[in-house]
Chain A
Amino acid sequence: MEYNEKGVSIVPSEFKKEIFEEARKDFRYEEYVRGCLNCGVCTGGCPPHRFFDFSPRIVLQNMKSKDPELIWTMMDEYIWACFQCFTCAMICPFLNSPGGIIAILREIAVRRGFESARKVLKPYSRVLLKLTAYGNQLSPDMIQPDFFPDWGPTIGYASTDLAVKRKAIPMPTLQVTNLAWDVAPETMKELYEIFDESGVFKIIESVDPSLYEIIQDIVDDVRSS
C-alpha cells in the first residue's frame, strides 16, 4: 500500500509528519503520554499481546520517539489490534494511556478515511446505520447467521420467527423486529443535529460513501416529516 515496486515508501514524509502533529495536538495527548520506563507492565497485561505482534509499550515508545516514520508504521494494521480494554492505563506506573493513544490514532484514521479504517469498520455498517439513522443499536432483525458466527450452531434457530419470538417476550416490547426501542421523530432530529455538528456524518461519508447515502435518505425523510 505505501511502497512502490522497488520497496521505496511512496508516502511523503511530510504527510507522515502531518499525521504525527495531528495526534500531538489532540487535547488528550499530554495526559496520555508522560515518561516511560520501558518496563513492559502495560504489555504484560495487554490481552491481544498474547495473540498478535502488538505491544502497548511499543505504542508509547513510538509516540515518545516523536519520529513520524515510527508512528506511521502503526497506522495501518497495528492500531486495530487493540481491544480498547484500558488495562494498560490501569497498571502503567507512569499513568500513561497507550490505549488512549490508540484511540487518538484510530480517530485520525477514521477522520481521514484511511483504508485500514474502512476495512475494520465494514462489518459495523449495519450498526452504524441503526445508530445514526434510527437511534437504535441492535435490533432483532440484525440477528443473522452471517453476522454472528461467534454464536455457534444455535444462531440458525435464533434468527428465525423473530416476530413471534419478540411477541413472546413476557414484558411490553415494541412488537416489531426492525427496532429495539422507539425513538420519537423529534429526538431523531436532535440526534441528526448532533451528528452533523460533531462531524459524525462527515466521518461516515469518508469511510463508507454508500452507507452514507442510505443514511442520508432516511435522515431527509425524517427531517421532512
Chain B
Amino acid sequence: MAENILVVGGGPAGLNAAVMLAELGVNVSLVERDSFLGGNPKKFKYKFLFPDMQPADNVIGELIKKAETGGNIKVYYSSEISDFKENGKKFDVTIKTADKNELKTFDSVIVSTGFEHFDPARDAKYSYQLFDDVIDIKDLERMMGEDNFVRPSNGQPPKNVAFILCVGSRDRHVGNQYCSRVCCTVSVKQAIELREHFPACEVYIFYMDIRTYGFFEDLYWKAMEEHDVQIVKGRIAEITSGPNNTVVCKGEDTLLRGPFEIPFDMVVLASGMEGGPQSSEISKKLGIGLDEHGFLKPENVTLSPFKSNRDGVFLAGACTGPKAISDSITEGAAAAMNAYTYAVKNK
C-alpha cells in the first residue's frame, strides 16, 4: 500500500513537496487555508520574478497545474488542521474543511505554511494608510500584476518614486531584528520595472545596506547602470504630506547631502517577511519549536534545516525564515525526500 503524507500549506515550497511525493507514488493530502494554491506569489499576483524577470506563471502556474492535475494529490482548499495526535510512529490528523471534518492517518508530515508580509502600519513613521501614495512592495507587485500601475491618489503616472528599504526589518521597535533577505532584490527589480514603464519617472532607493546577495547583485548593477536608479544611503525618519499632493521623505543622506526633505509622487515601502500568526499556531498544534524571530525552528539550522524537532514532521520554505522562491522550492524537495524516507522506514 502506498505511503500517506500530509503537506500543510500550498505555496511554492508545499507545492513542490507535494508534486515530488506524488511522482514517487505517495498519496499526498495538501491542506491549504486559502481557496487557491500558490501561496503569497499567487495571492499578491507577482508578475515577473527576480532574478531573471521570468513570468511568475512559469513557476507558480506550472507547480499549481502539476499539483491539481497530477493525480495522487488530494487538495483540501479553505481547510486547516483541527486536531493532531501521535499514533506510534504515525499521526492521526483531523482536516477541517468548509463543510466537514475528515480524520486520516499519515506516515509523515511536511509543514510549509510560509510567511506573512509585515504590515507597515505598525511603524508610524512611514504614514502607511495615512497617505494613498504610500504603498508597499506587495501592493506594487499586485498593482503591476493587475496592470494598474499609477498613483493611487489620482490615477496619474508618477513623476518620481522613492523606495524605502528595511521596513519592518532590522528594527528593534517593531520587534524584528533580522534581515528579510528578499526585499532589497524585490525593490531593485520593481525600480527597474518602474523605469521601464515610465521612462520619465525618477526612481530613488533609500538604503542602509543593499543586500542583493549572490547573483541578485546583477539586478542592482543593472538598476544603476542601465536604468539610472538613484541609490541614496540613509534610512527615512519620517514621511509627511508635501505641496501639490506629494509625500515628503525626511532623512539624512549619510554620505553626500546631509539632511534632506524630498517630495515624491509615490513612496514604496520594502516591507519584510514575518512568521505570521500561522507559525505560532502550527507550532502549538503540532508541538514543534518556534524560534526567537517568530518563525518555525529547525532541529539544526545548518545540518537539517528541513527537519523540525519532532520526529516525522518536516519543514520547508519561508516558514523557517525569509527566503527566495528558488530556496523554498529546493527545501520542498529536501523535505519531501526526508518525509518519504521516514514514511518508508516506519511502515
Q: B165's closest neighbor in chain A, by CB? A: A39
B contacts with A, residue count (CB < 8 A): 21
Interface size class of A (residues with CB under 8 A): 10 to 19
- Residues of chain B touching chain A, judged by Cβ–Cβ distance below 8 Å, are 125, 166, 170-173, 208-209, 233-238, 250-254, 258-259
Contact with B along A20-58 (1 / 0, CB 8 A): 000000000000000001111111110001100001010
A93 and B174 CA atoms in complex are apart in Å by: 8
Report yes or no: A93 in contact with B235, Cβ–Cβ below 8 A. yes
Given contacts A37-B208, A49-B259, A50-B259, contact A44 B238 (CB under 8 A): yes
Does B170 lie within 8 Å of A40, measured CB to CB?
no
Q: Closest residue of chain B to A34, judged by CB?
A: B172
Q: Please name all residues of chain A whose beta carbon is closer than 8 Å to the beta carbon of B254 when the two chains form the complex.
A: 38-40, 43, 57
Kindly report which residue of chain A lies nearest to residue B125, judged by CB atoms: A91
The list of the 3 closest CB pairs from A to B, nearest first, reads: A44-B237, A40-B252, A44-B251
Q: List 6 A-B contacts (CB under 8 A).
A: A39-B166, A44-B235, A44-B251, A44-B252, A49-B252, A95-B172
Report if A93-B238 is in contact (Cβ < 8 Å); known contacts: A38-B254, A43-B259, A57-B252: no
Name the B residues within 8 Å of A91 (CB-CB): 125, 173, 237
Report how far A8 CA is from B146 CA in the complex, Å: 66
| Minimum CB–CB distance for A36 against chain B, Å | 11
Q: Which residues of B contact A43 (CB under 8 A)?
A: 237, 252, 254, 259
Known: A44-B259, A91-B237. A55 touches B252 (CB 8 A): yes
Q: Are B238 and A45 in contact (CB under 8 A)?
A: yes
* Bound CA–CA A50/B257 (angstroms): 12
Min CB gap B233→A, angstroms: 8
- In the assembled complex, the Cα of A65 lies from the Cα of B327 at a distance in Å of 38
Instruction: State in angstroms the CA–CA spacing of A44 and B252 once bound together.
Output: 5
Chain B residues with Cβ below 8 Å from A50 are 259
Q: How far is the CA of A37 from the CA of B238 in the complex (A)?
A: 17
| Closest A residue, CB atoms, query B253 | A40
Determine if B252 and A95 form an interchain contact, defined as CB atoms under 8 angstroms apart: no
* Bound Cα distance from A55 to B258, whole angstroms: 9
Indicate with 1 or 0, residue by residue over A149-171, a CB within 8 angstroms of chain B CB atoms.
Answer: 00000000000000000000000
Do the beta carbons of A41 and B172 come within 8 Å of each other?
Answer: no
The answer for the CA separation of A57 and B125 in the assembled complex, in Å, is: 18
A94 at the interface (CB under 8 A from B): yes
| B238 contacts across to A, CB distance below 8 A | 44-45
Find A37's partner among B125, B170, B173, B258 (CB 8 Å cutoff): B170
What residues of chain B lie closer than 8 Å to A49, measured between beta carbons?
Answer: 252, 258-259
Whether the pair B235, A41 counts as a contact (CB closer than 8 A) is yes
> Which of chain A's residues have a CB closer than 8 A to the CB of B166?
39
Chain B residue with the shortest CB-CB distance to A44: B237
Chain B residue nearest to A53 in the complex (CB): B258
Q: Considering only CB atoms, which chain A residue lies closest to B208 in the complex?
A: A39
Residues of chain B lying within 8 A (CB to CB) of residue A57: 252, 254
Which chain B residue shows the least CB distance to A45?
A: B237
* Distance, CA A37 to CA B254, complexed state (A): 11
A50-B259, A93-B172 given; A40·B125 CB < 8 A: no
Residue of chain A at shortest CB distance from B174 = A93
Residues of B near A38 (CB, < 8 A) are: 208, 254
Please measure, in the bound complex, the distance between the C-alpha atom of A44 and the C-alpha atom of B239, giving whole angstroms. 11
A44 touching B236, Cβ below 8 Å: yes
Report the bound CA distance from A120 to B217 in whole Å: 51
**Which A residue sits closest to B169, measured CB to CB?**
A93
Closest to A94 in B: B172
Chain A nearest CB: distance from B208 CB in Å?
A: 4
Return B272 CB to nearest CB of chain A, in Å: 12
